[in-house]
Chain A
Amino acid sequence: MNTPSLALIFLLLWSPLRGPAFAAPVSNHPASTPQQALELLKDTALPDSSAWWPNIKLPLFVANLKANLLFPLKIYQGSNTNFCGYAALSYLPLQDDPLAYTRFMLSLYTDGKASWNGIQFHPSPEIHRAAGTLRFKGILDIRPADQLWFLVLADHFRSYLNFFNRRFHPGAEDTFWAAVSYGKFNRMIRQLFGYRVEALGSDLIRPGFDDLYEYLRKAVQSPGTTYLYVNNTYLHKKNHNKFKGSFPTHFIVLNDIHRIPGETDMVNIIYWDYGGRTLRQVSLRFLKKIIFGVTHCTPPA
């Protein structure tokens, strides 16, 4: 492979550090409240069934939207799907602008298409048929709005990881069709929500930190949201195999980090994923090993 090709691959995979000086506080966030979103939902007349979404039942759709607005942390990607990137992404609108999220979802339901921040979403016919039909995914089975949201995002935003799985087919939610690369994740946040994104990391090479604890501590204490792109085979272990893939597969929201008194290397981290917050004791050595990316995003001024 020649040098320009290598350089191009490097640029595709690498999201450069733009400095650990995280953005200053912003005054107009959250941009809307759950109450405003609930009122919009209550005041919008929706057809009992939608020609666009033949497998979505309106009562479940509305109940799902209400649950997301009232309990935004409970949004769940579904068991064994590759929707974790989109579920992590949902953390931002549900926390910061639930009204825009609700407007987008209602528009999708009634018109079969919608736009957000100037991006037009025209889901493919396969997506129209699939939303509401995903099964054996835990609570996602009865969450048609979440199915719709994840499928539409995955259908629209593509990256090199999705190259060989370009079109949705039943079961594609568990495959590379739904995978999210680090570059795509950051791009979605920038383009969809207009956030300022400070990203350090890549899909293949772990970033270097002079002091990982200080870096993460500063990030979580700054206004905005901090995501970690991690190797989930260590964080959420599913087998005891000695040889594990050394690449990142999962996005989590880092809410807090602090040292454990009397311990030199151990920290408590509080993070969000899989529809809830977790506090876990880990060593900094372990954290260094699993982190492939740190993204800090701040809402537009």
Chain B
Amino acid sequence: MMLPSSLYRTLGLAAIALLLLATSCARLNITNYYHRHRASLDGIEENYRNAFHNKPFSIEFTDRSFNRVSLELVTDTLTYIYEYQIGEPRLQDTLLKFGYDTTAINWLVRTMRSRECTWIDNLDYYSETAKHSLIYISLWPRAFNSPFVNKKYYILTYFQQPQYFDSEGRLLVGHRLRRIRKINGDVYHRINDRVCYTISDRFR
């Protein structure tokens, strides 16, 4: 039986509408997610910033079940990358050997795991010739992912100073230079003056 072309058109429009709805839901969700878990997410940022200031490092959860954690420990000469099972005593030995604050890093690992935060790092960026840094947090909440599509990560960036945005809430280079700033190739959107988000297919 042949379906009338108007039915095809209706089905096509419905599919597009569903797609748009899904996208806008995701955008709403990340903003809502931030506000719902603001205390713990801001806590991760603050503790990481302080711990990083003492001795630089990054933390990555390498699997979906958040049972394996990889640490990147940065020294003057080498970056050491080690991977551990959660709870493995080796992790504590390494932190002590390299002189890291075990309390701070253990808290971060625990809290990142409970918030399904897969990666945290300190990124340098430049405005004209001035160097700035931001904290880059990738979230991989189970609720946001479908099994058959490529993974999406919800990235939060914490700036040290208030930022400038255009009328659509997109992050700009500066007040005078009203170009859109990209971080890691992505455009970022405003959550508040210092915190932005994007949805990306890369966690770093």
Q: Do A and B come from one complex?
A: yes
A residues apposed to B, CB below 8 Å: 60, 79-80, 136, 138-139, 141-142, 174, 237-241, 270, 276-281
A278 and B78: CB pair below 8 A? yes
Per a CB cutoff under 8 Å, which of B78, B151, B182 touches A136?
B182
Per a CB cutoff under 8 Å, which of A142, A239, A279 touches B80?
A279
B49 within 8 A of A: no
A142 and B126: CB pair below 8 A? yes
Which residues between 88 and 121 of chain B lie within 8 Å of chain A, taking CB atoms? 118
B184 and A80: CB pair below 8 A? yes
Which residues between 137 and 164 of chain B lie within 8 Å of chain A, taking CB atoms? 140, 150-151, 153
Task: Please report whether the interface of chain A is mostly helix, strand, loop or mixed according to DSSP.
Answer: mixed
B203 and A238: CB pair below 8 A? yes
Query: Which residue of B has the minimal Cβ distance to A270?
Result: B78
Set of chain A residues within 8 Å of B63, measured between Cβ atoms: 240
B192 within 8 A of A: no
B183 within 8 A of A: yes
A277 and B151: CB pair below 8 A? no
Query: Which residue of A has the minimal Cβ distance to B128?
Result: A142
In the complex, A280 Cα to B83 Cα: how many Å? 9
B10 within 8 A of A: no
Q: Of residues B63, B125, B202, which shows the largest number of chain A Cβ atoms within 10 Å of its Cβ?
A: B125
Set of chain B residues within 8 Å of A281, measured between Cβ atoms: 81-83
Q: A238-B202, A239-B151, A239-B153 are in contact. Are A277 and B82 (CB under 8 A)?
A: no
Query: Which residue of B has the minimal Cβ distance to A137?
Result: B126
Set of chain A residues within 8 Å of B204, measured between Cβ atoms: 238
Which residues between 2 and 43 of chain B lie within 8 Å of chain A, taking CB atoms? none
A239 and B64: CB pair below 8 A? no
B62 and A237: CB pair below 8 A? yes
Shortest distance from the beta carbon of A177 to any chain B beta carbon, whole Å? 16
B77 and A79: CB pair below 8 A? no
Per a CB cutoff under 8 Å, which of A141, A240, A270, A279 touches B151?
A240
Set of chain A residues within 8 Å of B129, measured between Cβ atoms: 60, 142
Q: A136-B183, A138-B124, A281-B83 are in contact. Are A240 and B64 (CB under 8 A)?
A: yes
Query: Told that A136-B125, A138-B125 touch, could you supply 15 new A-B pairs with CB distance under 8 A?
Result: A80-B184, A80-B185, A136-B185, A139-B124, A141-B125, A141-B126, A239-B151, A239-B202, A240-B63, A240-B64, A240-B118, A240-B140, A277-B78, A278-B79, A279-B81
Per a CB cutoff under 8 Å, which of A79, A239, A270, A277 touches B150?
A239
Query: What are 13 A-B pairs at a CB distance below 8 A?
Result: A79-B185, A80-B184, A139-B126, A141-B126, A237-B62, A238-B203, A239-B153, A241-B150, A241-B151, A280-B81, A281-B81, A281-B82, A281-B83
Query: Which residue of A has the minimal Cβ distance to B183?
Result: A136
Per a CB cutoff under 8 Å, which of B81, B124, B125, B153 touches A278?
B81
Shortest distance from the beta carbon of A158 to any chain B beta carbon, whole Å? 24
In the complex, A220 Cα to B182 Cα: how many Å? 39
In the complex, A281 Cα to B79 Cα: how many Å? 12
Q: Of residues A141, A239, A241, A281, which shows the largest number of chain B Cβ atoms within 10 Å of its Cβ?
A: A239
Shortest distance from the beta carbon of A231 to any chain B beta carbon, whole Å? 16
Shortest distance from the beta carbon of A139 to any chain B beta carbon, whole Å? 7
Shortest distance from the beta carbon of B138 to any chain A beta carbon, whole Å? 10
Contact with A along B180-201 (1 / 0, CB 8 A): 0111110000000000000001
B79 and A279: CB pair below 8 A? yes
Shortest distance from the beta carbon of A289 to any chain B beta carbon, whole Å? 16
A276 and B182: CB pair below 8 A? no
Per a CB cutoff under 8 Å, which of A139, A174, A237, A280 touches B185?
A174
Query: Which residue of B has the minimal Cβ distance to A139?
Result: B124
Query: Which residue of B has the minimal Cβ distance to A143?
Result: B126
